[in-house]
A and B are shown apart, each in its own frame.
Chain A
Amino acid sequence: MSDFLAARMQMAFSLGWHIIFACIGMSMPFFMAFAEWRWLKTKKEVYLDLAKAWSRGVAIFFAVGAVSGTLLSFELGMLWPEFMKHAGPIIGMPFSLEGTAFFVEAIALGIFLYGWNKISPRLHWISGLVVGISGVASGIFVVAANGWMNSPAGFEFVNGEYINIDPVAALFNEAWFSQALHMTLAAFASTGFAVAGVHAFLILKGKRIEFHHEALKIALIFGSIAAFAMPITGDIAAKSVAKRQPAKLAAMEAHYHTQEKAPLIIGGIPNDEEQEVKYAIQIPGLLSFLAHGNFKEEVIGLDQIPEDEQPPVAITHFAFQIMVGLGMIMMLIGALYFFFRWKKIDFFTKGWWLKVLVLATPFGFLALEAGWIVTEVGRQPWIIYGVMRTEEALTPMPGIQYSFYSIVAIYSLLTLVIIWLMSRQIKAIHKKYEVS
């Protein structure tokens, strides 16, 4: 394995792993605060148990997110020192703001987890909210920095020098808003469906206790509402990509030929050599409409992008299809859920429905990873779009594959332990409710 490939794999793996914990850290505090709010309102103990059980989950996920995030803040330099040397002064600001937000999150979480009997219930509930709000803020800042890589702003690049730096303009780059919005909602959708799936599984296994029923409801409310909003924010993001990064859009859509009334290509297998997509469904004019708002406008294809500046088409296209496909399914499930509630149908006894939810457990996170692949692989070969190529940023240190292998080994081990820990948390709940 070349050092370049190893470094990219390590970055992809570390980020792809961290992103799951970061997203749980952004959204799940709101679930637990919601449960605690219900407890304060209704005084039904099941809500208190739920808030406590979820907070233990948050504690575990947050700690793992924090340490893997620390690793990332060093990995940026250990793998891409040239990038950080130049990008640091320009996009350091969102990171320093993120540092503050993260600090507040850690403090509020400490208060929430250990302060059950030490502060007033109201203050305690507020500390839970603060965990969520500062978590979302951290996420937005980090995504804003990633937005800058896609849409560099706040500097001039003259003769290899980065001059006239303006960190504020860099923070508010063109991509930050659409990316941060889409990502934040994705965090809620993916965590909501994952949590709902776990509780649906347990109900299906015969643990018909109110605890799981309430948990399922709360998780699905968050997850479904976010899933409904995903296509809207996705559309905003796609239009922004069409404007800023035509190469990425072309790769997402496997759109080889520049044309007016460009068709939307659904599915299929892209073939770079023949410049066509086999076995795909094509809807004429729809890509033009989605990218630019009317059915006739020209959409730039890969033929207008120099060959050495084209992202890998197949990976980007597949990832994009997976993301959209899973998103659609999640929306349907969300719609069904609200239909059941509207018609007052008891959905806890419907086996097929619970099975659907169980099946959908990983859908949100799979879509999230796929979306992340779209944005990162779709930016290649650039690390700073149009300014610095990824290979220019690579560390001179040889033997990166060993570092990659160790990270994979460590994170795989931790993944197994976390799954085991979660199953034990659930067992403890069942013990309390005597449904072993």
Chain B
Amino acid sequence: MSYAELVAIILGISLILYVVLGGADFGAGIIEIIAGPKYRSTISKAMGPVWEANHIWLIIAVVILFNGFPKVYSTISTALHIPLLITLVGITFRGAAFTFRHYDAFKDGSQKTYSLVFQWSSILTVFFLGICLGAVMGGSIPAEISGSFFSYYMAPWLNVFTISVGLFTTVLSAYIAAIFLLGEVDSDEEYERLHDITIWLFAASVLAGGVLFLSAYLTQNAFPERFLNNPVSIASAATATALVPFIFRFINAKRIWPLRVLGGGQVLLIIAGWFVIQWPDFVIFSDSSTLNIANTQAPFVTMRILFWALFCGVLVIFPSLYYLFKIFKS
């Protein structure tokens, strides 16, 4: 396996960790909207020590992209300038509001404003992240900059398919958040309430997944065919589905860690399944040409150094992360 492929795998892992861990943090904002202010303190307690570390997976992914696959980075950041900007505004407001809410010296009326900003910017961010992913995987970005402002800078990300991907990521992140939060609530009553929300969110995720496929067929984009022709992605989707009864059982039995592992595993399988479909392409253009590992990778020496830098970074990061989670999640 080449260094470029190894680096691409680390990129994938960073993205998965961002979606699972960071996604849960965004989802927590959505849970607050659904369940009302009741879970506010639970969420603050659970997210407080870890959200910044979770957030950094995104930065790692971006750094890998512009270091290792610069053409992908420059293409995405040009074609998806607008949704990326909206995502980043969401990230800024989400992080700021969450921190302000926790650290404001007086817990008065301003808490309500922070919460509103935190909640709605969480939704905004995760929805537009999904839109960006949809544009990258759906084959709607033109290979060359051409046509009107709308046709290059808007249409590729503003269509039925990308919106359905956005909905899917939104619902999915709320589902992961619910699963993680089940282990954080204090009373039985809250647990029951969150239990119901989790089931509803699960149903909503399945529905959103169905809508995603349907919209892919309707817009005739590259995704369904790639999915159906790939045994690994079908297998990963099937496994994710097969986990469902176990997850339900663990929810009812209040077995938090197996539940978290399976819930996280489910999301991991869904995203890994998508990666398998996508591999070795990063961006699929509207003319079916692609930006892939081979035609975008940085020179060999950069890839080698990047890989080893990431490898050493991981040796530092994972034990520290383990220590962090051990202190606060035990």
Which A residues are closer than 8 A to B by beta carbons?
56, 59-60, 62-64, 66-71, 73-74, 76-78, 81-82, 84-86, 88-90, 92-93, 95-100, 102-104, 106-111, 113-115, 118-119, 165-168, 395-399, 403, 406, 410, 414, 417, 421, 424-425, 427-428
Contacts and interface: CB of A to CB of B under 8 A. Distances in A.
Nearest to B102: A59
Nearest to B92: A67
Interface in B87-145: 88-89, 91-96, 98-100, 102-106, 145
A110 B55 contact: no
Contacts of B153: 397
Contact of A111 (B88, B99, B327): B327
Nearest to B88: A71
Given A63-B99, A78-B85, A90-B302, A397 B49 contact: no
B55 A73 contact: no
Contacts of B306: 92-93, 96, 167
B50 interface: yes
A167 B304 CA distance: 10
A71 to B, nearest CB: 5
A104 B320 contact: yes
Nearest to B319: A107
A425 B328 CA distance: 26
B309 A428 contact: no
Interface in B288-330: 298-299, 301-302, 305-306, 309-310, 312-313, 316-317, 320-321, 323-324, 327-328
B62 interface: yes
Say whether chain B's binding surface is mostly helix, strand, loop, or mixed.
helix
A395 B73 CA distance: 13
A297 B163 CA distance: 66
Given A106-B53, A107-B323, 6 more contacts: A66-B55, A70-B88, A77-B73, A93-B309, A96-B306, A108-B320
B100 A60 contact: yes
B66 A77 contact: yes
Given A64-B96, A73-B62, A59 B103 contact: yes
A52 to B, nearest CB: 11
B77 A77 contact: yes
A96 B309 contact: yes
B59 A81 contact: no
Contact of B50 (A69, A98, A103, A110): A110
Given A63-B52, A67-B92, A71-B88, A107 B324 contact: yes
B56 interface: yes
B63 A92 contact: yes
Given A67-B91, A95-B63, A85 B302 contact: no
A107 B78 contact: no
B224 interface: no
B278 interface: no
Interface string B33-68: 000000000000000111011011011101110111
A114 B328 contact: yes
B183 interface: no
Given A67-B96, A81-B77, A427-B105, A92 B91 contact: no
Most buried by A among B58, B103, B317: B103
Contacts of A71: 88, 91-92
Nearest to A102: B56
A384 B70 CA distance: 16
B197 interface: no
Contacts of A110: 48-50, 52-53, 324, 328
B301 A92 contact: no
A167 B66 CA distance: 14
B100 A417 contact: yes
7 contacts: A56-B103, A73-B63, A92-B298, A99-B63, A104-B317, A110-B48, A110-B53
Contact of B298 (A76, A89, A166): A89
B73 A406 contact: no
A78 B53 contact: no
A70 B100 contact: no
Contact of B313 (A70, A77, A99): A99
B74 interface: yes
| Among all A-B residue pairs, the 4 with the closest Cβ atoms | A92-B67, A77-B77, A89-B298, A428-B105
A424 B110 CA distance: 12
Given A67-B95, A70-B88, A114 B49 contact: yes
Contacts of B324: 107, 110-111
Nearest to A91: B67
Nearest to B317: A103
Contacts of A78: 77-78, 81, 84-85
A193 B95 CA distance: 27
Contact of B60 (A103, A104, A111, A114): A103
A88 B52 contact: no
Contacts of A73: 59, 62-63
B76 interface: yes
Contacts of B316: 100, 103-104
B14 to A, nearest CB: 9
Contacts of A85: 70-71, 73-74
Contacts of B298: 88-89, 92, 165
Contacts of B68: 89, 92
B301 A99 contact: no
A401 B313 CA distance: 38
A115 B327 contact: yes
Interface string B252-289: 00000000000000000000000000000000000000
A108 B305 CA distance: 26
Nearest to A56: B103
A62 B60 contact: no
B73 A102 contact: no
Interface string B222-264: 0000000000000000000000000000000000000000000
Nearest to B145: A396
Contacts of B52: 62-63, 66, 106, 109-110
